[in-house]
Structure 1
């Protein structure tokens, strides 16, 4: 028997303010970038600073090497966070696209700390400025 269409969750677009509110409530997201071999996605711990995402990574890692490849300047990148309840078929997803650049020591001192979950050195700090912020939510009517 087919489910009644009124029982199905609805998909709605989120405005920029709601997207930033949802981003502000998290600590783990994914950075998407081109590492020279193609699109790559890496999870990172982050904090929100205005409408920019601040994250840390290791100096030797693929993410840091790729984002430092254009200095000075910004590397095009994206950042995505989502939360889903698979049982209820509800959730949301936010995508931030913009330019990423390394933070100077002075800039690092002015932003909220980011505490990476994994051990080891995470001395490369980056800011991903939001040129575009979009989001969608799946919810029950």
Structure 2
């Protein structure tokens, strides 16, 4: 007899699959320290050779994260079924200074906020964690 009870199964992702999923979405959240407190900002991103690229502006709280350890999280979890995935990368946020790279990223990554973004940050993932949530059926 099948009771049809639904459960969620969590499966850890490997590095390559986590990066593939991260590259499949545009929006994530950067976690950094501002005034000795944790701060989180939603930002859009692209992946470039496995690195997370985001844009910001001079004076933003986010610029305090330059040369500091940050985490970047993105996910795609259905609010109704609770099925999907989540990925977190941890690394040092570095300011991109090469003018050619900056010009390229300005073409590839248009910020969602309507303001001048004069900073480009690159996060090289030192650590990557991620999981998928899938639907499993437990029955007797």
Q: TM-score range by the shorter chain?
A: 0.7 to 0.9
**2:37 matched residue in structure 1:** 38
RMSD (Å) for aligned C-alpha atoms:
1.7
**2:122 matched residue in structure 1:** 127
Matched, 1:60 2:59: yes
Q: How does 1:93-112 map to 2 (within 5 A)?
A: 93-104=86-97, 105-109=99-103, 111=105
For 2:41 and 2:4, the matched residues in 1 are separated by: 37
1:59 partner SS? coil
For 1:85 and 1:110, the matched residues in 2 are separated by: 33
For 2:86 and 2:18, the matched residues in 1 are separated by: 8
- Structure 1 runs (4+) deviating above 4 angstroms are none
For 1:46 and 1:123, the matched residues in 2 are separated by: 15
**1:90 matched residue in structure 2:** 83
- 1:45 CA drift (Å): 1.1
**1:10 matched residue in structure 2:** 9
Gaps of 5+ in 2: none
For 1:88 and 1:60, the matched residues in 2 are separated by: 40
Matched, 1:137 2:129: no
Tell me the TM-score normalised to structure 1 length: 0.86
- 1:106 CA drift (Å): 3.6
Contact 2:88 2:130 in 1 (8 A): yes
